[in-house]
Amino acid sequence: MSVYKRAKWYWMHDFVSGVEYRMALKTRNWQEALKVHKEKLSEIIEGKIGSVGKVARQTFEAATDLYLEERKLFKAPKTYVTEFERSKPLKEFFGDTPLKRITAALILRYQTERKTKGLANKTINLEVALLRQILEKHRQWKRIAEDVAMLPKQTKEARVMAPEEKANLLALAATRPDWMIAKCAAILALNTTMRGCELKGLRRKDVDLFEKALTIQRDSTKTDAGNRVIPLNRDAVLALSELLARAELLGASQPDHFVFPACECGVIDPTKPMKGWRTAWRHLTRQAGLKGLRFHDLRHQAITELCEAGLSDMTIMGIAGHVSREMLMHYSHIRMQAKREAVAMLETPMAVSKPAETTEAVRLN
């Protein structure tokens, strides 16, 4: 404990968990100073007061770089890359601002600016969540936590194709060689519930065509739910066979090589995954009359069809991995509707009768 007098006022100077705290106690009374000092220490331990020493004077950019370097040691490469990209707009905005100068009002300005640029609420919230983690690490979050609000959640209704739309999309995708990647990716998403990021992260060693199964590795998915094994049906096996044959021709034959190898300026690098098939997908969906159909909608399509088949939530989650409570509720509604339509088919047509005439005939007899 260190309480001292400076210009007739009492001050405190302490180190808690290696972090320096120096602040005025705003009293000239010794007993009152001891009391206030004790209260301040309690607030520091609870995280309600951030450091005002060297750590607090550290710029946000420097604190972020330090945070990311530590994360690089303990997190999967994909997680590190995601956080690194997410930190760019944060560093651009907060940059040289000392941690102690970051306030709820400043964070609100950041949210407003990002919103005016057309960013989705979810994207902005993920960036603010990273900001929070950085501030928490340096004991600067709890002092502003109560005044920081996340933007409301916006859910875009998933688009589910009619059977004829789905068949037309896949038939059209097979008509052009430059749509081959988008076609195979779509078939896999529709038959395995895989996300785009999971498809791009798929390696040859993850695919077992003899056992008709593939493994989604933890570092290729967006959640921390761990690895999961998905059985492959006929359509998925055919699509993977076509992709593996293509990869073989491109030199991607090693177990660690990607099923969707990267191609930069015509140069194939099987040690890196391709960035995506956005252009081909956009052209394909427009020609199929499905403009605006997201590739991620195919995952929802697959889960919806599994639900309509009457599978349990546990079975669906075993195949699809993480599914939020909101989406489970949505799919449960779909499943109930499918059940209602099924039992309606069991109804016996009602014979048309005339109750009044029948009653009168019984009375006369």
Confidence of residue 112 (pLDDT cuts 50, 70, 90): very high
- DSSP H/E element including 22: strand 19-24
Judge whether residue 262 has pLDDT over 60. Answer: yes
- Record the tokens describing residue 211, joined without a space: 């056992």
Average pLDDT, the chain: 85
- For residue 97, the model assigns a pLDDT of 93
CATH 3.10.129.10 assigned to domain 163-344? The reply is no
Is the predicted pLDDT of residue 123 greater than 70, yes or no? Answer: yes
How much is the average pLDDT of 290-316?
Answer: 89
Q: What is the pLDDT of residue 264?
A: 82
For the stretch 340-358, pLDDT in tens is: 777 888 888 765 555 555 4
User: What is the arithmetic mean of pLDDT over 64-85?
Assistant: 87
Q: What is the DSSP letter of 352?
A: P
CATH number for the domain running over 57-147:
1.10.150.130
- Which pLDDT value is given to residue 362? 45
> Is the Cα torsion angle 190, 191, 192, 193 positive or negative in sign?
positive
Buried b (16+ CB within 10 A) or exposed e, 213-251: ebbbbeebbeeeeeebebebeeebbebbeebbebbeeee
| Residue 128 identity (one-letter amino acid) | V
Q: What angle do CA 184, 189, 190 make, to 5 degrees?
A: 100
The ranges assigned to domains in the chain are 3-49, 57-147, 163-344
Q: Which of 139, 120, 150, 155 is nearest to 56 (CA)?
A: 139
Q: Provide mean pLDDT across the span 313-339.
A: 77
Can you give the pLDDT at residue 221?
58
Q: What is the pLDDT of residue 110?
A: 96
Which helix H or strand E contains 234, and what residues bound it? helix 234-249
More confident residue, 100 or 218: 100
pLDDT, residue 331, reads 73
Tokens of 246: 């293509």
Of 56-65, 185-194, 271-280, minimum mean pLDDT range: 56-65
Q: What value does the mean pLDDT take over residues 151-164? A: 83
Give the model's pLDDT for residue 70.
Answer: 86
Local confidence band at 18 (pLDDT 50, 70, 90 cut-offs): low
Highest mean pLDDT among 151-155, 330-334, 349-353: 151-155
339 vs 298 pLDDT, higher one: 298
- Report the pLDDT value the prediction gives residue 285, as an integer from 0 to 100: 96
Pairing of strands 9-16, 3-6: antiparallel
Can you give the pLDDT at residue 8?
85
